[in-house]
Homo-oligomer: A and B are copies of this chain.
Amino acid sequence: MLNYRAPLGTYSWLLRDVLGAEAALDAIYPADLRSPELFDTVLKEAARLCESMLLPCNRDGDEYGCTLLDGAVQAPPGFRAAYNAFVEGGWIGLATPADHGGQGLPFVLNVILHDMIMATNLSFGDYIGLPQAAAKTIGVHASPELREAYLGQIVAGATNATMCMTEPQCGTDIGLVRTKAMPDGDGFALSGTKIFISAGDHDLTPNIVHLVLARLPDAPPGVKGLSLFLCPKLLADGRPNAVKPVRLERKMGYKAAATCEMHFDNAHAWLVGQPNRGLAAIFTMVNTARLLVSLQGLGTAEAAYQAASAYARERRQGRALTGPAEPDAPADPLIVHPDVRRLLLGTRAFTEAGRFIALWFGLQIDISERHPDQERRVAADDLVGLLTPVVKASFSDWGFRSCTDCMQIFGGHGYIRDTGVEQLVRDVRIAQIQEGANGIQALDFIGRKLRSNGGRAWASFLSLVRSDLAAAEGKVEPDHLRLLTDAADQLDAAAKELLSAASEDADWIGSAGVDFQAAVALLMFGWAWIRILSAPGADNAAMHITVATYFFAREFPRLSMHLELARTPPSTLMALAADDF
């Protein structure tokens, strides 16, 4: 069984001393909503809930999964009580603006909440994250009538919500959506099949609101013909709508998230936003949804690390290579072995810097959405947009690697279900796929973000990195600064090369994508380490230096390799005829 403790001290230190969150948010929130004391109180309660309600039902969620019986889905044991506890505490509306019925707290707190949720019960995250996303979309795009009818109850948690995009013939390529919306009375009648609908049906709430991408009768083909609809499970008079789950997917992990195939059979629905502008409405949520998926990687890695480091300190097996460390015991603890430490440090180099990145990112979202100064909003939005694919891909990749590395420390005991670590591996694997598979993130990063507005966001990220490096001089190891300065220059040059090559042969974007993105991620992690190392007030500064030293010695060198691979011509991938695969 896993036994996770939320890293509250670290969150608190990052917010206060490393990120200066109170000051960063000063033009956005009143003083009492951004004080370190409030943050600590909120996070302590969030941690209590996650540790006491989510962790205990995480294993049951995996063992029992959800059940589809008589056309209705039951959540696993313990989930309803956990959900109710989150509803009672108002956690769904934590960062929803007060005028949408929420608590109006900074979004960065919601990031930390989800980090803890992912660490204790990844599947449960959907039942909190989806209504948050739906509330945002409805709050921004829906008519006053729809807002009046649904927004409050979604934010309060009385009604849950889903996003219905994927269809059997249409995954990544959302333009292939076929679900039809026919005008019908005061609204529309939806017909079609949606698959992979998370939380598509369940018994945590009586009603569920589905946000559905569909096509109006005369819609143009492709993404420009998509409209967004709101389709409730129960109609206003309490009668069931013509939407139901017809299949529950059986998955590798992530089993307590009810992944449904939903049939819409002339279901009553209402348009959200403008006709044929469904994609724009959906995009309201893309960056935050991808950030939450990133947290699946970060949270599970922390949970795996806590389990594996405890095991490595306790389990005795073999002797240190340099001679018995504890000669009187029958064997030394695993932690004496360099390679066991390598697996643990590799995880920690990710989780420590990743937490900084996640929180910094959360603050940027706060600023980009709510700062009164438009210039500040745009600047933050540039960074959020640019780095969303980088964070999503790198956190999910490193999260998966961390979980499987931590599992390795347990040997055969990690492969059996008892320790709970193999569940983390299976659960987190979804993060590399959902909200855009990581290969798609790379296309988004290079094909779109890197060059949008003449490369403005990329330039602004590099200048942020460079100025933080300059500010850290004298506070951190000069070698680390030099490595990062060189890397920033190299990546800048490589980006220019790449975009120029891509203008001749667009396959460069896909050919270089994943590796170039991985190189940028290493720069971002290196920058995060510099920010951590140059911050004041860490009780354990020496420990941070040791982990950072590991990072620069043993993770950062991968950057050059990724850059070399990114520079390899597309012909090395495209030469083989399709039939020869």
Assess the B578–A550 pair: CB atoms within 8 A.
Answer: no
Q: In the complex, A513→B341 CA distance in Å? A: 13
- A125 CB-CB contact with B under 8 Å: no
B581 touches A313 (CB 8 A): yes
Question: Given A173-B318, A415-B429, A514–B339 Cβ distance below 8 Å?
Answer: yes
Given contacts A172-B411, A560-B561, A573-B342, contact A321 B509 (CB under 8 A): yes
In the complex, identify which listed stretch (A210-218, A277-285, A330-338) lies at the interface while the others stay far away: A330-338
What 0/1 pattern do residues 415 to 449 of A give for CB contact below 8 A with B? 11110001001100110111001110011000100
Contacts of A151 in B (CB 8 A): none
Residue A412 at the B interface, CB < 8 A? yes
Judge whether B572 and A550 touch: CB under 8 Å.
Answer: yes
Cβ–Cβ contact B417 & A252, under 8 A: yes
| Chain B residue with the shortest CB-CB distance to A540 | B580
A426 to B581, CA, bound (A): 24
Q: Contacts of A411 on B, CB cut-off 8 Å?
A: 171-172, 433, 437
Report whether A317 and B412 are in contact in the complex, using a CB–CB cutoff of 8 Å. no
Chain B residue with Cβ nearest A506: B321
Determine, out of A30-38, A153-161, A563-571, the stretch whose residues face the partner at the interface: A563-571
| Assembly CA distance A350 to B573 (angstroms) | 15
Interface contact B568-A321, CB-CB below 8 Å:
no
B335, A578: Cβ atoms closer than 8 Å:
yes
Are B321 and A412 closer than 8 Å at their CB atoms? no
Question: Interface on chain A toward B: helix, strand, loop, or mixed SS?
Answer: helix
Q: Interface 1/0s, chain A 521-556, versus B by CB < 8 A?
A: 000000000000000000010010011011001100
Residues of A within 8 A of B (CB-CB), count: 99
Let me know if B321 and A510 touch, CB within 8 A.
yes
What 18 additional pairs, Cβ within 8 angstroms, besides A196-B412, A422-B429?
Answer: A250-B417, A252-B422, A252-B426, A254-B415, A312-B581, A313-B578, A321-B443, A322-B506, A333-B578, A338-B511, A338-B573, A338-B574, A340-B439, A408-B432, A408-B438, A408-B439, A415-B430, A543-B576
In the assembled complex, 8 residue pairs joining A and B whose CB atoms fall closer than 8 Å, in A order, are A169-B330, A176-B330, A252-B425, A309-B581, A312-B581, A313-B581, A321-B507, A408-B432
Binding site for B on A (CB under 8 A): 166, 169-173, 176, 195-196, 249-252, 254, 259, 309, 312-313, 316-318, 320-323, 330-331, 333, 335-345, 400, 404, 407-408, 411-418, 422, 425-426, 429-430, 432-434, 437-439, 442-443, 447, 505-507, 509-511, 513-514, 540, 543, 546-547, 549-550, 553-554, 557-558, 560-561, 564-565, 568-570, 572-576, 578-581
